[in-house]
Amino acid sequence: MRTALVLSLAALLPGQALAANQVALNNSVFVERVSTDASGKQRVLLEEPKVVVPGDRLVFVLNYRNAGAQPADKFVITNPMPSAVRFADAGDTQSLVSVDGGKQWGLLSELTVAMADGTRRAAQPADVTHVRWAFQKPIPVGGTGKLMFRGVVK
């Protein structure tokens, strides 16, 4: 199993004051292992994704930092679900999700999925195609944060 971290700048638009404003984003993944101790209490361990087989629970962790010289506004982090991972939950990070490939966004409990017969049913975690966090306040200079969501290897 190899893990690779890639941090890249997408194409820059010319004529904008970008050089001094950088946001650092770091993406890592852990395997969540549950063990039960003698007293029946469950313990959760987070491990590097060394041995990963179908059915394993994954925790994706996103670290962000405003490394620029000015506050970052309208800060939106978007994470499409890898095709081989089924979304489980996003903890209490108040994420928005999309169940239609990123067209519509909302809380999972508010979204619906069209059925073959034309009716709509409530969206399930397995329907999630994208996860998004939209910050309402600017990220101050040097501000950092951590976001997470869980998934299961299909």
Partner 1 sequence: MTSMLNYMGLGMVACASIAATPAYANGTTAGTSITNTATVDYQVGGVAQGQQSASNSFVVDRRVNLLVEEVGNATTEVAPGQTSAVTTFQLTNSSNEILDFLLTASQITGGVATHGGTDTFNASNIRIYRDAATGTPGSYDVADVLVTYIDELATDTPIRLFVVADIPAGLPTGAVAGIQLRATALEGGTAGTQGAAVTQTAGANTAAKDTVFADGVGVNDANRDASHSDADDYTVKTATLTVTKSSRVVSDPFNGTTNPKLIPGATVEYCIAVANAAGGADATSVAINDSVPGQLAFVAGSIRLNGTVTGGTCNADGTTGGSYAAPVVSGTIATIAAGAARTLIFQALVN
Q: Rounded distance, CA 111 to CA 121, Å?
A: 9
**Smallest distance from the beta carbon of 137 to partner 1, in angstroms?**
4
Q: Are 153 and 85 within 8 A, CB to CB?
A: yes
Which of the residues 126 through 145 are near partner 1 (CB under 8 A)?
133, 135-140, 143-145
DSSP at 101: S
Nearer to partner 1, 123 or 151 (CB): 151
Candidate residues 8, 39, 109, 119; the one interacting with partner 1 per rule CB under 8 A:
8
Nearer to partner 1, 114 or 122 (CB): 122
Q: Does residue 13 touch partner 1 according to CB under 8 A?
A: yes
Contacts of 54 (CB under 8 A, 6+ apart): 153, 154
Candidate residues 39, 42, 109, 119; the one interacting with partner 1 per rule CB under 8 A:
42
